[in-house]
Chain A
Amino acid sequence: KAGVTQTPRYLIKTRGQQVTLSCSPISGHRSVSWYQQTPGQGLQFLFEYFSETQRNKGNFPGRFSGRQFSNSRSEMNVSTLELGDSALYLCASSIQPTGKYNEQFFGPGTRLTVL
């Protein structure tokens, strides 16, 4: 069974640009969560989607947005990039967001560098 895949793996952008990251969950998983990981802050929760609906959102500015498609694939978008957005963006999928099948499996991440 294939794991969580994220594309692209590496990305370099300049300030002010916008970026879209993609995540394909494990087959059969309907819940997708996004995290930002920086050396100083650790893993910070961005948002969670289940059945195409945003179920929960972390404390990030409106420049960060996401969506989930009917096939459970998810994208996140960051507009007007800032230097501080440089981070590893991780996607995690689970069968369900709560209950017995809520174990999250992480993808390899997308390393975003903002110059």
Chain B
Amino acid sequence: KNQVEQSPQSLIILEGKNCTLQCNYTVSPFSNLRWYKQDTGRGPVSLTIMTFSENTKSNGRYTATLDADTKQSSLHITASQLSDSASYICVVRENTGFQKLVFGTGTRLLVSP
């Protein structure tokens, strides 16, 4: 069964610190992997998208990595800010006719002052 697992489930860090969120998937065949940020009570917003051939992609203080061989991705947040407090969701798209999306359950990040 195609799955996406994220860790940790929740995380508290001090403002200004760095953190790394993990995403492991078993989705096959693989099309792409996207990280979303979801603020409380709002819809998810895309941070990065990575295809099979991409290892790293950055969006400001957010850097995503992908190892397609081990089926692992990480999202690194540098110099965290209070506004980074949100849920981060890893989503993998199948490379099939329907191109189904498989969602992780997310990591809830709290940045503390």
Residues of A within 8 A of B (CB): 4, 41-45, 55-56, 88, 90, 92, 97-98, 102-109, 111
Contacts and interface: CB of A to CB of B under 8 A. Distances in A.
Contact of B43 (A41, A44, A103, A109): A109
Given A41-B105, A109-B41, A103 B49 contact: yes
B43 A108 contact: yes
Contact of A109 (B42, B99, B101, B105): B42
Interface of B: 36, 41-46, 49, 89, 93, 97-101, 103-106
B89 A43 contact: yes
Majority secondary structure of chain B interface residues (helix, strand, loop or mixed): loop
Given A44-B103, A98-B98, A103-B46, 16 more contacts: A41-B105, A42-B89, A42-B103, A42-B104, A45-B100, A45-B101, A55-B98, A97-B98, A98-B99, A103-B49, A104-B101, A105-B46, A106-B43, A107-B43, A108-B42, A109-B43
A77 to B, nearest CB: 20
A4 B43 contact: yes
Nearest to B97: A98
A23 to B, nearest CB: 11
Contacts of A98: 97-99
B99 A102 contact: yes
